[in-house]
């Protein structure tokens, strides 16, 4: 069964008809030609497909498109504005926070959302104290990005990139 769907992806509106079993990842890649989110494991275990959905990070391989009619989606390729890289994208380049690059779009989306979650006071599994996190330590960064895997092991560069964006 197919139904109509409206999505705003990287600032562009799209109206299409999709099968009710279609994931956001498949809509982005197969229907809209946006190859920034990657199909890694297709089981929500690697984070390569991470995008920002209405401002929150989601694993697009697990999200059914029909459940998000009217959503605003931002992929790593939609973060640059007026020809300028997003600060997180630039930081990834500055710190060699990638090797093969396959996980990088998902890592960048996750890192951007993670900083917003931290600023909002959301705790992580390693947060100490009752009132939420007060400092974005290396341990906090690693825990908060633990859902995004890098087969090449560029984690030190990723942490350094996040620190650059936070001014540390």
- Tell me which CATH homologous superfamily contains domain 2-78: Beta-grasp domain (3.10.20.30)
Burial of 84 (0-12, 13-18, 19+ CB in 10 A): exposed
pLDDT attached to residue 168: 66
DSSP characters for 79-127?
--BTTBPPHHHHHHHHTT--SS-SSHHHHHHHHHHHHHHHHTT---TT-
Contact of 98 with 154, CB cutoff 8 Å: yes
- pLDDT, tens only, 81-120: 998 999 999 999 999 999 999 999 999 999 999 999 999 9
Strands 71-74 and 2-9: parallel
Strand partners, 12: 9
pLDDT attached to residue 128: 77
- pLDDT, tens only, 10-61: 999 999 999 999 999 999 999 999 999 999 999 999 999 999 999 999 999 9
Query: Is domain 87-166 annotated with CATH 1.10.150.120?
Result: yes
SS3 content of the chain, % helix, strand, coil (to 5): 35, 20, 45
For the question of whether the overall pTM of this predicted structure is more than 0.75, the answer is: yes
Per-residue pLDDT for 159 more than 90? yes
Please give the Cα distance from 47 to 106 (Å, whole number).
Answer: 6
pLDDT attached to residue 133: 67
- Top-confidence residue, 167 or 45: 45
pLDDT attached to residue 134: 74
DSSP characters for 134-145?
SS--HHHHHHHT
The side-by-side arrangement of strands in the sheet containing 50-53 is 12-19, 2-9, 71-74, 50-53, 56-59
Domain ranges across the chain: 2-78, 87-166
Task: Give every CB contact of residue 152 below 8 A, 6+ residues apart in sequence.
Answer: 98, 99, 100
Torsion of CA 34, 40, 42, 44, to 10 degrees: -100
């Amino acid at each position: 069964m197919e139904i109509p769907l409206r999505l705003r992806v990287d600032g562009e509106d799209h109206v299409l008809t999709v099968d009710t079993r279609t994931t956001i990842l498949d809509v982005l890649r197969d229907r809209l030609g946006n190859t920034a989110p990657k199909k890694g494991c297709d089981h929500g275990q690697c984070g390569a497909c991470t995008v920002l959905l209405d401002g929150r990070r989601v694993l697009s391989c697990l999200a059914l498109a029909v459940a998000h009619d009217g959503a605003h989606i931002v992929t790593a390729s939609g973060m640059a504005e007026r020809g300028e890289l997003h600060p997180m994208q630039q930081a990834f380049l500055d710190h060699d926070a990638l090797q093969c690059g396959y996980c990088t779009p998902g890592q960048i989306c996750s890192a951007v959302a993670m900083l917003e979650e931290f600023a909002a006071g959301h705790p992580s599994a390693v947060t100490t104290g009752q009132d939420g996190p007060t400092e974005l330590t290396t341990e906090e960064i690693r825990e908060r990005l633990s859902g995004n895997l890098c087969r090449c092991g560029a984690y030190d560069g990723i942490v350094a990139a996040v620190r650059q964006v936070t001014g540390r």
